[in-house]
Chains A and B, each alone.
Chain A
Amino acid sequence: MKILRNSVCLIIILSGTTQAQRVLRWGADPSGGAPYVYTDPGNPERYIGYEKEMVDALAAAMDRQAEFVPSDWETLVSALQRKSFDVIVNGLEPTGDRAQQIAFSNPYYIFQLQLTVRRDDNRIHSLDDCKNRTVATLGNTAASRLLQQQNIPFRSYEDPVGAYRDLELKRIDAVVMDVPAEAFYARDNPKLKPAGPPFFKGYYVIGLRKGDDALKAEIDKAIEKIIQNGTLEQILKKWKLWNDAQVEFQSSIRTHTQPTAVIEMTNATFNWRDALLRLTRAAMYTVLIALGSMIIAVVLGLPLAVGQWKGPSWLRSLCTLYVEFFRGTPVLVQLLFLYFGLPVLGIAMPGMLTAVVGLGLNYAAYESQVYRAALDAIPKGQWEASYSLGMSSLLAFRRIILPQAFRIALPPMTNDFVSLFKDTSVAFAISVWELATAYRELANASGQFLLLGVIVSLFYLAMSLPMAHVARLLEQRLRDRSTERLEEAEVAA
């Protein structure tokens, strides 16, 4: 009891002091974020990384308390503008397009890019060899802008881990990444090798809201201070990020001379013609995923339904298990499992196929329940009439029960298909270039969240509305067939 009271007092005192001190809230994406900032593998409660240590040093220099706000790389800029935190410290490159939205501190690091390929690959030695290959990088980075400028088609990933893993699994041919991340995630991988020397030189800066001039001055002063007093050098050495470029860069700061290195700056290019073209292509993928997975769902749903409905008890529980598993877990998790988990067992499917199979397996569970309800709705007399005409169970099922059940199942199946169409958007999680991915990337590159959002919604509507219409027609035809035939007969008479 006494210990408890003491610790409560301690907490109050501690929180009192933090509140008294000013905080520096900084945002970064810790998922796959090594060596910048990431979850400590030894203690999941803690974040580590060279930028984490650097921010702590900066905060100390500013007499502030650093407070980390885990965020998402793609939305860092908008999160900063929404005041989720005060600064972005995440290996941020000062690009022309970002300069229109946010302000930058003075640089604190010079980074380069590295191209990585599989060890047995002798085709690719530089970016020039990548024109007809599948290249991957992180979305919305200097690397992605560089690839865009050089007209090299690329797939963008959420984090380096996924990109390098897909490279190993031959889903892609090469990865371009900032050297710090490359050194951490790929350098020691025996299956991969660097293709050519590092290239491109750029700055990392800290991002601030426009107008936060006082904070910018404070940050710039702190950056200079930790460079002058060697703190940053120590941190970078500790993380093996110290190199000639940093030596030159830091000495120019210490001596207040202009750095001699030529710094390149990337810029996102955005034009509407290109964007619409890419959206159309993405829409085609969306249609393909939806159609492919619906075929799987419709076909696989039937044995599941029958197994659960009339099968022996072991089969029934097996089918129930399947249905409950796929209905009870998020489709997103299932997709991630198929994409990242299955390769561990030696099954590596490309992203597109994974999306089709994943959504197909998921929706099969739903279709089976639609079928089961429809089959249950057929009166027992239909079976008995079939049997009494000498039909076997299978024949009765195929010729008498199934066609009737299909008519009952059609409206809910249509519903499911429309919702499947929208669910294709989860494929963005495994970097399939479908509409949602296209929206996110184009919007992040251009800042046109609103307009592109409206356009993408129109794309979805343009695809799902006709489908709902066709399904309604089909339904009506099945329902009206008897009366239609009646009219035909009367005309004939």
Chain B
Amino acid sequence: MIQVTNLTKRFGSNEILKGVSFEVPRQTILGIIGASGSGKTTLLRCLNGLETIDGGTIACGDVRLEAGISHTDYKRRVRDLRLQVGTVFQHFYLFPHLSVVGNIIEAPVHVLHSPRKKAEGEAFELLDSVGMKHAARRYPESLSGGEQQRVAIARALAMHPALLLLDEPTSALDPRRIASLRGLLRGFVEKGHTLIIISHSIGFLDGVSDNLLYMEGGLVVEHGPTDQVLNSPKDPRVKEFIAQAE
């Protein structure tokens, strides 16, 4: 579904990503773990075009983003990429001046030019699927963290992205909610979505992701099926990280 090859990203002289390569097969979930400063968040921001890449390629569906192409070409490809990739930010960034439904139909109506009625119908279906239909007419500031997250997920899905990125999805949730989020995300995979989840919580990823990727110092240190990475990591640094997390 998405293939990242030799991706590099610098901020000034500080190289954050030093050649990251991995692939996520369709209808799977990849969990990305690593200590703070390992480059996880920068990687995520490169995948949805918020950071300009300095080297390598990102191929997603029929979009191929690479360093070294002209500025206008790059911008066009970033827009195409964003239509393939949906993002749920750690702090959600719901639009405070729009109702829950307004948040969800904003992009379908103004970017995809869907008829408002149709977009609203879909929005209600999505809200139903994340269990937020009752709050459709409410405004973000009256929602709890978990509720805001569900709205943010519905907002991202309303654009029918092939790939959904989630940044620290468990940070706003209590344990009971975490279990239900897990079920929700697996449900999306059943429906055909592909997910990349960045999380500190190995416990959460253990039950939800198909594959795990461990990053450190801007490099992929280990990448494999979740069971294998957690139970018999090859690299001692991964072992140490998991031991500390537990």
Contacts and interface: CB of A to CB of B under 8 A. Distances in A.
Contacts of A486: 138-139, 142
Nearest to B96: A404
Interface in B48-102: 48-50, 79, 82-83, 85-87, 89, 91-97, 99
Interface in A183-238: none
A390 interface: yes
Nearest to B109: A399
A390 B79 contact: yes
Interface string A455-493: 000000000000000000000000001110110110011
A395 interface: yes
A389 B86 CA distance: 7
Contacts of B94: 385
A479 B112 CA distance: 30
A400 B110 CA distance: 11
B153 interface: no
Contact of B159 (A390, A407, A482, A492): A390
Contact of A381 (B48, B86, B89, B139): B89
Contact of A391 (B85, B89, B110): B110
B138 A489 contact: yes
A180 B138 CA distance: 77
Given A395-B110, A399-B110, A485-B137, A388 B86 contact: yes
A239 interface: no
B111 to A, nearest CB: 5
Contact of B93 (A384, A482, A483, A488): A384
Nearest to A481: B139
B107 interface: yes
A485 B139 CA distance: 8
A403 interface: yes
A384 B95 CA distance: 11
Q: Is the interface of A mostly helix, strand, loop or mixed?
A: helix
Contacts of A492: 137
B155 interface: yes
A387 interface: yes
A488 B79 contact: no
Contact of A389 (B50, B106, B137): B106
A384 B156 contact: no
A415 interface: no
Contact of A485 (B48, B138, B159): B138
A382 interface: yes
A388 B139 contact: no
A379 interface: yes
A399 B107 CA distance: 10
A400 B83 CA distance: 18
Most chain A CB atoms below 10 A, which of B85, B96, B134, B156: B96
B206 interface: no
A239 to B, nearest CB: 72
A384 to B, nearest CB: 6
Nearest to B99: A485
Contacts of B93: 379, 381-382, 384-385
12 contacts: A379-B93, A381-B93, A387-B48, A387-B82, A388-B156, A389-B107, A389-B111, A390-B107, A404-B97, A482-B138, A486-B139, A489-B135
Interface of A: 379, 381-382, 384-385, 387-392, 395, 399-400, 403-404, 407, 481-483, 485-486, 488-489, 492-493
